[in-house]
Structure 1
Amino acid sequence: MEADLNAQIFSLAKRTADMLVKMFGSRCEVAVHDFTDLKHSLVYLAGNVTGRKVGAPITDLVLTELRKGPADIQDIPNYKTSARNGTVMKSSTVFLRDSEEKVIGALCINYDVTQMLLFTNDMEEFLGVDPSQAKAENFHTTVQEVIHDMVDQVVSGFKKAPAHLLLEEKVECVRLLEEKGAFLIKGSTEYLASVLGVSKFTIYNYLQKIRTQNEYQMQE
């Protein structure tokens, strides 16, 4: 009875191996090991990433795990391995147990990620940006959105309602918007005036004083 049960366990493992390779494709290899003979434990191989054949020995990683007591042997998920041919893989090992919880074999999944790693390196290089050139840039669909967004960003920086801004704070709003180039856009003066609750001529006066000061500083 025990032999029949073990045969069913290995039959299920082999069918699972075939299913996983069909699902994940040619970069996937699934090996079934029978620990009855550790020198030739590989009894079934679906796909082939490592270059092994049926009859190959057990791996050193599994041997290390088998030195533990049965209750201490744990499945090993999602670890990095490499084959002798240089292939880099993601691997997982599931231990097969009989009705008495004795470890009798293993189902080992190896997925070739070599090309993905190369692609990842290329993508990281392509997506990399110069941190010293960090800029905030918004993409609007209308010029009105551009004006509104620039004005709102500056005004909101004062942490108070526009109507409560002091004279010098209103002038500072104009100065900041001048630095941002907001007044290169037609309609920005009128919009800022409406937000600050002053006339557009007042904004013109602020702007003229700021530009005069800038020109004077440049001449010094």
Structure 2
Amino acid sequence: MDKSTIDFYTRLAHGLAAQFGSNCEIVIHDLESNDVEHSIVAIENGYITGRKLGDGPSHIVLESLQNGEKHTEDKLAYLTKTKDGKILKSSTIYIRNSKGKIVGILSINYDITILLAAQTHIQGLTATAADDSEESGPETVSMNVTDLLDELIDQAFRHIGKPAAVMTKDDKIDFIRILNDAGAFLITKSGQRVCQILCISKFTLYSYLNEIKAEDEEKAAKAEQD
């Protein structure tokens, strides 16, 4: 994002934090920055998640960078959690340029940990989107890209449901697809980490990624024909 846009959203973040108080964290991510791993250009009340100016992206930021315009709708009023156990009511709002391209993200994280104790009295304030479920639980807000990569890898393992040692080729491709869709390979040295976990070479990793890309392009072509 250009300087004037960042300046505006920095002032907006400050204003929102002043309006909603010290329990509300406001984060601005620049998705046009050349330094993906330091996407935060403005933050208010960062002590809520432990992040600061210059820290790295969240899960949803990586997805946006990886999938681009596939993410056409803002994500509002969903649950997240911090590593120290805070429960947050979060919203993610995409910042677009004049051509509609996503260039940044405005994130709002309101700490509702204490409010949840009195949820029966303030249900309207703490209600979240209908697709949140107790079974899946809230997403974890990572403090840095190392933690974020760990979380994405854990999610992929949970989805596959078996350790790497007994994975078939198809399992490994699915594992890599999950990470790729989440934008994990935008993180420095993530490919090396995945190769070590799956006991595959870099050549094999790139071969699997090419297979995934070809399948996605084929599906997209069929969808256009339909």
Larger of the two Rg values belongs to structure: 1
**Structure of higher RCO (CA pairs closer than 8 Å, 6+ residues apart):** 2
Q: TM-score normalised to the size of structure 2?
A: 0.48
Q: TM-score normalised to the size of structure 1?
A: 0.50
